[in-house]
């Protein structure tokens, strides 16, 4: 099952709520999600596999074009498609663009999750539901708040009702298809997004170069990539304060993931204009 929508409508937060675990990083920055990330929910009755996708948009870089292709690839062969729209920002042309480009031609049950209803006054919700309905031919339109959990049980039940029976695709204890190194890189990037500003977040990528466990300590070396020297200075901060804050925040999330104490070594490197460089994008798996 694929979850699609324009940037910043809350797709990752919704996938985390549906899986009941944090499997995708979240940020207020557009284009936080850069891969198709699978979240897996297994119960005694069923297994659901949710694919969180990048925000579909009109791209300005090679990275943007590749992210859109991730969305196009993710909607192929799914059993259910969920388009997420933002009730607080208002349903509009960007949502129509997503529907026409990615949703309309897919011949599977289509659900629309009208997200962030907790941020909208009660009498303003109905017009947003109507606007979502005008986008196209959805089987169901569901008001939800991924942040508070409102409506997510109902949405999950509708997904279950529309998914055909079949064998489980993943072990019962697996909650994501990401490797540990990929999850660590994403955690570091999430923390970097939270503390940087302006154009810097879009220019940040993270690579885990080495990870080694020694008893109850996991040593991890990672590099934060930026596109310009000025951005490198911002990420490091005065006296290294910004980089230290990123590392401190990241380590708190990495330790429960790996089950040990973590020694995290971070450095910042300039990879000039990597968003437009096909070789750099290939190296980063983007």
pLDDT in tens, 195-250: 998 778 889 999 999 999 999 999 999 999 999 999 999 999 999 999 999 999 99
Q: By C-alpha distance, which of 207, 196, 199, 181 is closest to 268?
A: 207
Question: What is the rounded CA–CA span in Å between residue 132 and residue 120?
Answer: 15
β-pair partners for 218: 213, 262
Q: 105: helix, coil or strand?
A: coil
Question: What is the rounded CA–CA span in Å between residue 226 and residue 202?
Answer: 9
Residue 122, Cβ density class (10 Å: 0-12 exposed, 13-18 middle, ≥19 buried): exposed
Give the rounded percent of residues in the chain with a pLDDT score beyond 90.
93
Q: What is the mean pLDDT of residues 89-117?
A: 96
Q: Which domains, from first to last, does the chain contain?
A: 2-162 (3.40.50.300), 180-283 (3.30.300.20)
Residue 112, Cβ density class (10 Å: 0-12 exposed, 13-18 middle, ≥19 buried): buried
Tokens, residue 49: 């596999």
In this model, does residue 155 exceed pLDDT 90?
yes
Angle between helices 241-258 and 229-236 (to 10 degrees): 70
Residues in the chain, overall count: 286
Q: What is the mean pLDDT of residues 134-153?
A: 97
Neighbour count for residue 217 (Cβ, 10 Å): 12
Helices and strands, number each (H, E), in the chain = 9, 9
Question: What is the rounded CA–CA span in Å between residue 133 and residue 156?
Answer: 19
**pLDDT band for position 276 (cuts 50, 70, 90):** very high
Q: What is the mean pLDDT of the chain?
A: 95
| Cα dihedral sign, 16-44-108-286 | positive
């Amino acid at each position: 099952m694929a979850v699609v929508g324009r940037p910043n409508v809350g797709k990752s937060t919704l996938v985390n709520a549906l899986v009941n675990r944090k499997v995708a990083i979240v940020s207020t920055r557009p284009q936080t999600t850069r891969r198709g990330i699978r979240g897996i929910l297994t119960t005694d009755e069923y297994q659901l596999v949710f694919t969180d996708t990048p925000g579909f948009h009109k791209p300005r870089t090679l990275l943007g074009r590749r992210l859109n292709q991730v969305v196009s690839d993710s909607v192929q062969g799914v059993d259910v498609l969920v388009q997420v729209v933002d009730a607080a920002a208002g349903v509009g042309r960007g949502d129509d663009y997503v529907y026409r480009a990615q949703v309309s031609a897919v011949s599977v049950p289509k659900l629309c999750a009208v997200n962030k209803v907790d941020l909208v006054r009660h009498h303003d919700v109905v017009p947003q539901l109507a606007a979502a309905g005008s986008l196209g031919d959805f089987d169901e339109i569901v008001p939800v708040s991924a942040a508070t959990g409102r409506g997510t049980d109902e949405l999950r039940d509708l997904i279950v009702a529309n998914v055909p029976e079949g064998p489980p695709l993943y072990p019962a204890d697996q909650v994501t298809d990401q490797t540990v190194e990929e999850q660590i890189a994403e955690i570091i990037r999430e923390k970097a997004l939270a503390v940087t500003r302006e154009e810097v977040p879009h220019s940040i990528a993270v690579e885990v170069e080495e990870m080694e466990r020694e008893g109850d300590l996991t040593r991890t070396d990672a590099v934060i990539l930026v596109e310009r020297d000025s951005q490198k200075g911002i990420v490091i901060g005065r006296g290294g304060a910004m980089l230290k804050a990123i590392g401190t925040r990241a380590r708190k999330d990495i330790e429960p993931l790996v089950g040990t104490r973590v020694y995290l070594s971070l450095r910042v490197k300039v990879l000039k204009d990597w968003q437009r460089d096909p070789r750099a994008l290939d190296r980063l798996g983007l």
